[in-house]
Structure 1
Amino acid sequence: MTGRPPIGLTMGDPAGIGPELTYAAWHALRQTPAEAFVLFGDPASLPKDAPHKVIATPDQAWAVWPDAIPVMQGIRLTDPVQPGVGNPAHAPAIIDSIARAVAAAQAGATGGVVTNPINKYVLRQGGFIYPGHTEFLADLCGVPGHEVMMLAGPSLRVVPVTIHVSLRTALDQLRVDEIVRVARTTHHALRRDFGLPSPRLAVAGLNPHAGEGGLMGTEEEAIILPALSRLRQDGIDVTGPWPPDTMFTPTARADYDAAICMYHDQALIPLKTLDMDNGVNVTLGLPIIRTSPDHGTAFDIAGRGIARPDSLIAALRLATSMTAHRSPP
Structure 2
Amino acid sequence: MSLTSDVGRLTLERPIAITCGDPAGIGPDLVLTLPASFPDAPLVAIGDREVLSQRATQLGLEAPLSDWQPGQPLTPGTLPVWHTPAGAPVTAGQPDPATANGTITMLARAAQGCLDGTFAAMVTAPVAKNVICDGADPAFTGHTEFLAAQAGVDQVVMMLTARELRVALVTTHLPLSQVSRAVTADSLTRTLTILRDDLIGKYRIEEPRILVLGLNPHAGEGGHLGREELDVIIPTLDALRAQGMALTGPLPADTAFQPDLLAQHDAVLAMYHDQGLPVLKYAGFGEAINITLGLPFIRTSVDHGTAFDLAGTGQAKAGSLIAATRLALELAAT
Name the TM-score, length of structure 2 as normaliser: 0.92
3-state SS of paired residue (1:251): helix
Letter of the structure 2 residue corresponding to residue 298 of structure 1: A
**What is the rounded CA distance, in whole Å, between the counterparts of 1:197 and 1:311 in structure 2?**
27
**What is the rounded CA distance, in whole Å, between the counterparts of 1:77 and 1:131 in structure 2?**
20
> Paired residue for 1:38?
44
Letter of the structure 1 residue corresponding to residue 140 of structure 2: Y
**Tell me, which stretches of 5 or more residues in structure 1 are unaligned?**
none
Deviation string, structure 1 residues 59-93 (Cα, Å, up to 9, x no partner): 522x33xx2211014x1123221111110111111
Identity %: 42
> Paired residue for 1:82?
91
**What is the rounded CA distance, in whole Å, between the counterparts of 1:286 and 1:317 in structure 2?**
19
Match for residue 208 of structure 1 among 206, 217, 221: 217
Letter of the structure 2 residue corresponding to residue 224 of structure 1: I
3-state SS of paired residue (1:246): helix
Query: What is the root-mean-square deviation in Å for CA atoms of aligned residues?
Result: 1.4
Deviation string, structure 1 residues 180-233 (Cα, Å, up to 9, x no partner): 110110000000101111100010011122122222222111111011012112
Structure 1 residue 58: Cα displacement: 5.9
Letter of the structure 2 residue corresponding to residue 299 of structure 1: F
> Paired residue for 1:245?
254
Alignment of 1:229 onto 2:235: no
**What is the rounded CA distance, in whole Å, between the counterparts of 1:186 and 1:130 in structure 2?**
24
Further displaced range: 42-51 or 204-213: 42-51
Alignment of 1:152 onto 2:161: yes
Match for residue 116 of structure 1 among 115, 125, 149: 125
**What is the rounded CA distance, in whole Å, between the counterparts of 1:59 and 1:260 in structure 2?**
41
**What is the rounded CA distance, in whole Å, between the counterparts of 2:72 and 2:182 in structure 1?**
44
> Paired residue for 1:102?
111
Q: How does 1:129-140 map to 2 (within 5 A)?
A: 129-140=139-150
**What is the rounded CA distance, in whole Å, between the counterparts of 2:143 and 2:288 in structure 1?**
17
> Paired residue for 2:68?
55
- Mark the CA change 1:288 to 1:211 in structure 2 (over 3 Å): closer, same or farther: same
Aligned length: 317
Letter of the structure 1 residue corresponding to residue 303 of structure 2: D
> Where does structure 1 differ by over 4 angstroms across 4 or more consecutive aligned residues?
none
**What is the rounded CA distance, in whole Å, between the counterparts of 1:37 and 1:225 in structure 2?**
44
Structure 1 residue 167: Cα displacement: 0.6
Alignment of 1:289 onto 2:295: no
Deviation string, structure 1 residues 243-282 (Cα, Å, up to 9, x no partner): 1101112122111111111111012111101111221111
Name the TM-score, length of structure 1 as normaliser: 0.93
> Paired residue for 1:299?
308
**What is the rounded CA distance, in whole Å, between the counterparts of 1:186 and 1:59 in structure 2?**
35
**What is the rounded CA distance, in whole Å, between the counterparts of 2:72 and 2:285 in structure 1?**
33
